[in-house]
Structure 1
Amino acid sequence: MQQNNGLDKNQLLSFAVFSMILIGFMFYFQNKQSKDQKVKEAAKTAQVAPTANSNTVKPALVTNLNDSLKSAAIQQVQLKNKELTLGISTLGGQISTVQLNEYKAYNPKTDTNDKNLLLFDKNNSAYGFQFKDKTGKTFSTKDLVFTPVQNGNSVTMQADVNGAIIQFIYTLSNKYAVDFHVKTQGLNQLVTDGKADFIWDYSVREMEKGRSQEQTHTEFAYTFDNYKSYDYDARTEMDEPEETLNWIGIKQQFFTAVLEPQSGFKNSKGNQENIEEGEFLKKFNFNGQVDLAGNELNQSFKWYFMPLDMPLLKEYNKNFDEILPLGWSFIGSLNRWFFIPIYNWLSDFGIAAGWVIFLMTIATKIILSPIMYKQHKLSAMMRVIRPEIDEVNARLKGADAMKKQQETMAIYRKAGVNQMAGCLPALVQIPIFYALFRFFPNMIDLRGKGFWFAKDLTAYDDLIKLPFKIPFFGWDHLSVLAIACTVVILIYTVMTSGNIQQPQQEGMPNMKVMMYIFPITFLFFLNTSASGLSWYYFVSNAINILIILVIKYWILDEKKIHAQIQANKLKEPKKEGNFQKRMREMMEKAQEQQKVQQQHTNKKK
């Protein structure tokens, strides 16, 4: 993994820009009246065809960045609606500030979401088109100073580079979309290769509590194949040389910035690197090609700066809902068609988010109750025949493990106990666990919702703050909900581990010890995870404990089960299932091979 070392090119450029801004503002305020007059005269003589509802200006003649900074101060034009506030800079003609007005970012000083939520700000995003001229040299729109003309919620940015005119026209409509039209005139006198590179450098700002969790959910997202196919990349270099991307996005845990080109991006590639500390999480770079028509760039684009809210994402009908990382295949379907609908339905009653999760847990348990009942009934049956298993182990003490295993399986078969039936509930709960692992940290409706001492159910609770960081893990807190969840899982494990048969072969790990270690690992996993996930599994395992007690003392009568097992022994044994038959044959074959090997060893002696 690459590290962020020192100042990069963009940081040096930003330093130079801000230094020149201070000088520029001094001249700007001294000559404000004369400058305003020049802009008005330029607007009357503009040579580029005007767009609807916008004025045009005569472009300032710009040959390089240093000359432009001497002659003009960098300005920022503001566009605003209910959802977004945009700042568009004359340097590069690019969107330099993006604020989502209806959301707030996490503030570690107050431990709450009360900061302005700024996706773009302080030069953390820079984008533009890069062209190669006839001499082989490249020039970029990021280095040009544009002249702005604003008309309501639309602004036209215009620049001149060696006689070629470039216009960027931004229009902020309703909600979260920004139309971005690019027009050029005379560019064909400078370039001949028929394409331009769109380059976007973006350092993603930390917005949420829980840096590691948010960093994990910060990644490239893009679609292709006419919006039908979707892909993402969170760790490696992105490379799509053969696909035409319909849109490219860089997403965070709950928000995303997406650019959609009219004709798509070709030969797309990108890279990313984690930023270990500070206000930024990751640094991204994207490079995609756009085609020129007659060596002119006249194409429409659209920016989207959105919260990852499922109904909103679906409104656009552009596969944006895939950006929400709900899991692949069956996992994602489980979230889309069960957990999200049931959460929304319960929330409509005005119930607090923590209690909604509580009710979701109960609903899940009710659905799984037939499977859970079979599991606990099997546990009770195995407790009843445990003395007979112990008798076999005592009688065959010193015999080979294979012989003991065969005798044990024979007891299970005569008693009508199918050991494999206990695996089904565990297998069913694996996709549920992973679905919820995706659900809780990415459900924007839970963002900022507190419950008891957890201030945000999508982040960890840190009621226990440590005066130091735990080595290797880097924790400076302990999550109470994670500890509580670990304790109930440990209790549940103790209650159910009595049925676990100890390994008969020497050198095999003690399964009971392994079962006790497993709950402890949950603490390491949950301590920095969403507290909603810890709360769900605390409730889930507490209900499991209650179910075991109810079944043991009120539903299942172990005496009756013992009588049933004894009756089963007297009956003709049930026909072996395919799996049991294969297991028996494998054991017999292994036993025969063991005997042959032993005989061969004895002959050598």
Structure 2
Amino acid sequence: MEEKKLDINSIIGFLLIFGILMYMLWQNQPTPEELEAQEKAKQEQVEAETKVKEQQNIAVTTAEDFVVSSETDSLQLVALQNKLGAFAYSATRASKEETTVESDLLALTFSNKGGYLSEVRLKDYVDFKDNPIYIIKDNNAGFNINFGTTDSRILNTKDLYFEPSVTKNGDVTVVSMKLKVSESKFLEYRYELKQGDYMMDFTIRSQGLSDVINSSQDINLDWNIKTYRHAKSISYENRYTELVYEYEGGKDDYLGQRELSEDKAEDVTYVAFKQHFFTSILLTDTPFKSAVLESRNLVQNEDVDTVYTKAMAVKLPLEFKGGEINQSMNWYYGPSDYKILKAYDRNLDEIVPLGWGIFGWINKHLFIPFFAFLGGFLPYGIAIIVMTISIKLLMSFVQYKQFLSQAKLKILKPELDEIREKYKDNKMKAQQETMALQTKAGASPMAGCIPALIQLPVFYALFQFFPSAFDLRQKPFLWAEDLSSYDTIMELPFKIPFYGDHVSLFPLLASIAIFFYMQLTTGQNMQSQPQQEGMPDMGKMMKYMMYFSPIMMLFFFNNYASGLSLYYFVSNLISIGIILVIKNFILDEDKIHAQIQEKKKKPRKESRFQQKMKEMMEQAEKQKQIQQNQKRK
């Protein structure tokens, strides 16, 4: 076979074809104007795609799974319809942006996703580190409505994007968050923020959703929060952080301080997630039929768990009447200040733990108004001292009666010892004679107990008052930087169990004052109380109490509010002064002894109680004699 070779004619042909192709490319190349137009068209296409992406960010449980682009609109809408049904309309129009409004008291940020508050800042307050007070921030709180749809879907509003609008009408700012099915069909959260007010009007309403929301399924409102730490002592703050609620026409209750507390209630009119000095409250004039409440303690280790105190949650049913939801409510985000809460006249003052019964009455009608009056023109530390002096002077007659009773028993002690010695073999008879002598002399031990009992309501009321006094928050006095928290004069390099890692001076001073006070009072009691055979040594017990009580005070109050320790310090100093004045300048033991002798000579009519006691003792004595006679036989 003849071998083919590349001849000169073939080479010329290839060169001619290459030249023709190059000429055609040169003839068809774009002009500079055409290149500029192409570049502009590309830029417009990129901008259009970016705009589409921004407008079509989706608010569904898996909204982030969708990639928005102009080339996949139809596919995306189909996917949204499958996920959200009717609410796909709102999803394609919403964005992930936030809405911010302010009043003179509150700075609020609403998340378009969920339509709820993502930040609540109280503008007038800072925490113990001078940081702003946030009740809500960084997803520590949630608000959600869970409902079923007529096309068999279960949706959560916390995962859906709302369309916001803000309008102002004088001092009122209205924030409307709408979750839309169409322009005329939507679920709306409506907030009305007023100047000079911590309370907002809040309404949940639907329009035209009777054919969208399944009325046969429960519609539940879920509200929860993890409460931030705001105070120096997290244990002290946590002790006064709790879930409080009102139910059944004005009754109020709280979940307590257990590790996990749960409860159910009916006809609930408000739920408060109360922190020590700040609180979040959801109120309604139309009671929720029921509520499921939960509180969980988040502080397991005070050295580690230092951000949150408690996690609290409530589940409330929403009614679907006439094919629509319409629930008018209020939000309160502000101080746990008795005066502010009381002014709303909606029983919110019960959120502040002032004590039950007579203790709360004393605080509300005596101590709070009096302390507010003193605080109006005195520094708060001085106001505590003046208030303490006033209370102690008012109660001084009680101390006088108590000390007088102890003095009488002390004077009668030799005669009482003689009676016990005389009837040492007949204890019942000894008791009868002892009672008879005390009655004639007017020196019953009960006379000393009754004044002590009278002081108990005042003591307990003040114990509740000082930790709840919002006015003391961050008010300094002497070395104490904050009368609502513990004072510190020394930081310890280690932690003492039940005491802490610091030394507080006010509890130390209060403990010393209690020791000297108990020396005066307990010493008097020890002298007036004779030792009875077969009975515990009361003298030793009182002596132990004299040392135990100050130590207990020192440990117990080292982490308590310095204002409370200041009160106990001043109170015991005044008590010591009153006792010394009574002992040295008012009571004359010789005169009292003479009065007792005069009373013993006069016939004294016994009270019904004394007569009954005497009869019971005589019957017991007769029964004892009968038993002894039977044994002898």
Name the TM-score, length of structure 1 as normaliser: 0.82
The answer to whether the aligner puts 1:103 opposite 2:125 as a matched pair is yes
Distance across 2 between alignment mates of 1:588 and 1:419: 21
Distance across 2 between alignment mates of 1:560 and 1:137: 91
**Residues 509 and 390 (structure 1), Cα distance of their counterparts in 2 relative to 1, 3 Å cut:** closer
2:38 equivalent in structure 1? none
SS of residue matched to 2:582: helix
- Displacement after TM superposition at 1:151 (Å): 3.7
- Displacement after TM superposition at 1:176 (Å): 1.1
1:495 equivalent in structure 2? 520
Distance across 2 between alignment mates of 1:515 and 1:38: 74
1:155 is aligned with what amino acid? V
CA-to-partner distance for each residue in 1:14-69, whole Å, 9 max, x for gaps? xxxxxxxxxxxxxxxx9799549976xxxxxxxxxxxxxxxxxxx97644333477
SS of residue matched to 1:424: helix
**Residues 273 and 596 (structure 1), Cα distance of their counterparts in 2 relative to 1, 3 Å cut:** farther
Distance across 1 between alignment mates of 2:122 and 2:49: 34
**Residues 278 and 162 (structure 1), Cα distance of their counterparts in 2 relative to 1, 3 Å cut:** farther
- Displacement after TM superposition at 1:467 (Å): 2.0
1:477 is aligned with what amino acid? H
**Residues 402 and 451 (structure 1), Cα distance of their counterparts in 2 relative to 1, 3 Å cut:** farther
The answer to whether the aligner puts 1:504 opposite 2:524 as a matched pair is no
The answer to whether the aligner puts 1:166 opposite 2:187 as a matched pair is yes
1:580 equivalent in structure 2? 610
Q: Is the 8 A contact 2:106 2:122 kept in 1?
A: yes
**Residues 523 and 601 (structure 1), Cα distance of their counterparts in 2 relative to 1, 3 Å cut:** farther
- Displacement after TM superposition at 1:281 (Å): 0.5
Q: Is the 8 A contact 2:255 2:294 kept in 1?
A: no
Distance across 1 between alignment mates of 2:66 and 2:163: 13
Distance across 2 between alignment mates of 1:285 and 1:360: 39
SS of residue matched to 1:466: strand
Distance across 2 between alignment mates of 1:307 and 1:68: 41
Match of 2:440 among 399, 414, 425: 414
Larger radius of gyration: 2
**Residues 230 and 559 (structure 1), Cα distance of their counterparts in 2 relative to 1, 3 Å cut:** same
The answer to whether the aligner puts 1:544 opposite 2:560 as a matched pair is no
1:367 equivalent in structure 2? 394
Deviates more, 1:258-267 or 1:530-539: 258-267
- Displacement after TM superposition at 1:373 (Å): 2.0
**Residues 201 and 421 (structure 1), Cα distance of their counterparts in 2 relative to 1, 3 Å cut:** same
2:310 is aligned with what amino acid? K
The answer to whether the aligner puts 1:449 opposite 2:475 as a matched pair is yes
- Displacement after TM superposition at 1:359 (Å): 1.0
Q: Is the 8 A contact 1:60 1:159 kept in 2?
A: no
Q: Is the 8 A contact 2:491 2:502 kept in 1?
A: yes
Which runs of structure 2 are paired with 1:139-158 in the superposition (5 Å)?
139-152=155-168, 153-158=173-178
Distance across 2 between alignment mates of 1:206 and 1:417: 54
Distance across 2 between alignment mates of 1:531 and 1:525: 12
Deviates more, 1:507-516 or 1:141-150: 507-516
Q: Is the 8 A contact 2:417 2:530 kept in 1?
A: no
1:557 equivalent in structure 2? 588
**How large is the Cα RMSD of the aligned pairs?**
2.9
2:297 equivalent in structure 1? 274
- Displacement after TM superposition at 1:447 (Å): 0.9
1:214 equivalent in structure 2? 237
2:221 is aligned with what amino acid? F
Distance across 2 between alignment mates of 1:539 and 1:555: 22
**Residues 264 and 70 (structure 1), Cα distance of their counterparts in 2 relative to 1, 3 Å cut:** farther
- Displacement after TM superposition at 1:332 (Å): 1.1
1:78 equivalent in structure 2? 100
1:477 equivalent in structure 2? 502
Distance across 2 between alignment mates of 1:86 and 1:101: 10
SS of residue matched to 2:353: coil
Q: Is the 8 A contact 2:264 2:290 kept in 1?
A: yes
Which runs of structure 2 are paired with 1:393-408 in the superposition (5 Å)?
393-396=420-423, 399-408=425-434
- Displacement after TM superposition at 1:240 (Å): 4.1
1:478 is aligned with what amino acid? V
CA-to-partner distance for each residue in 1:455-484, whole Å, 9 max, x for gaps? 22222223233222223x262233322222
Distance across 2 between alignment mates of 1:68 and 1:176: 39
Distance across 2 between alignment mates of 1:562 and 1:256: 60
**Residues 168 and 524 (structure 1), Cα distance of their counterparts in 2 relative to 1, 3 Å cut:** same
2:336 equivalent in structure 1? 308
- Displacement after TM superposition at 1:268 (Å): 0.6
Match of 2:360 among 332, 353, 369: 332
Deviates more, 1:75-84 or 1:385-394: 385-394
1:439 equivalent in structure 2? 465
The answer to whether the aligner puts 1:255 opposite 2:278 as a matched pair is yes
1:146 is aligned with what amino acid? F
Match of 2:404 among 377, 380, 390: 377
Distance across 2 between alignment mates of 1:255 and 1:131: 32
- Displacement after TM superposition at 1:173 (Å): 1.6
Deviates more, 1:498-507 or 1:424-433: 498-507
Distance across 2 between alignment mates of 1:440 and 1:165: 49
1:126 is aligned with what amino acid? G
2:561 equivalent in structure 1? 530
Distance across 2 between alignment mates of 1:198 and 1:361: 47
- Displacement after TM superposition at 1:288 (Å): 0.6
**Residues 35 and 159 (structure 1), Cα distance of their counterparts in 2 relative to 1, 3 Å cut:** farther
- Displacement after TM superposition at 1:179 (Å): 2.8
SS of residue matched to 1:87: strand
**Residues 520 and 577 (structure 1), Cα distance of their counterparts in 2 relative to 1, 3 Å cut:** farther
Which runs of structure 2 are paired with 1:46-195 in the superposition (5 Å)?
62-67=59-64, 74-107=96-129, 114-134=130-150, 138-152=154-168, 153-160=173-180, 165-174=186-195, 175-188=197-210, 189-193=212-216, 195=218
CA-to-partner distance for each residue in 1:567-592, whole Å, 9 max, x for gaps? 222222x1222333333333334444
SS of residue matched to 1:325: coil
Distance across 2 between alignment mates of 1:38 and 1:556: 88
Q: Is the 8 A contact 2:245 2:268 kept in 1?
A: yes
SS of residue matched to 1:460: coil
Distance across 2 between alignment mates of 1:352 and 1:434: 24
2:493 is aligned with what amino acid? P
Distance across 2 between alignment mates of 1:260 and 1:207: 24
1:384 is aligned with what amino acid? I
Distance across 2 between alignment mates of 1:127 and 1:296: 20
1:486 equivalent in structure 2? 511
CA-to-partner distance for each residue in 1:295-314, whole Å, 9 max, x for gaps? 32233332111212233223
SS of residue matched to 2:496: coil
State how many pairs are aligned. Answer: 543
2:36 equivalent in structure 1? none
SS of residue matched to 1:476: strand
Distance across 2 between alignment mates of 1:260 and 1:248: 7
2:286 is aligned with what amino acid? S
State percent identity of aligned pairs. Answer: 37
Q: Is the 8 A contact 1:251 1:323 kept in 2?
A: yes
1:20 equivalent in structure 2? none
- Displacement after TM superposition at 1:364 (Å): 1.1
- Displacement after TM superposition at 1:197 (Å): 0.5
**Residues 261 and 565 (structure 1), Cα distance of their counterparts in 2 relative to 1, 3 Å cut:** closer
Distance across 2 between alignment mates of 1:597 and 1:221: 59
- Displacement after TM superposition at 1:238 (Å): 4.8
Q: Is the 8 A contact 1:158 1:167 kept in 2?
A: yes
1:206 is aligned with what amino acid? R
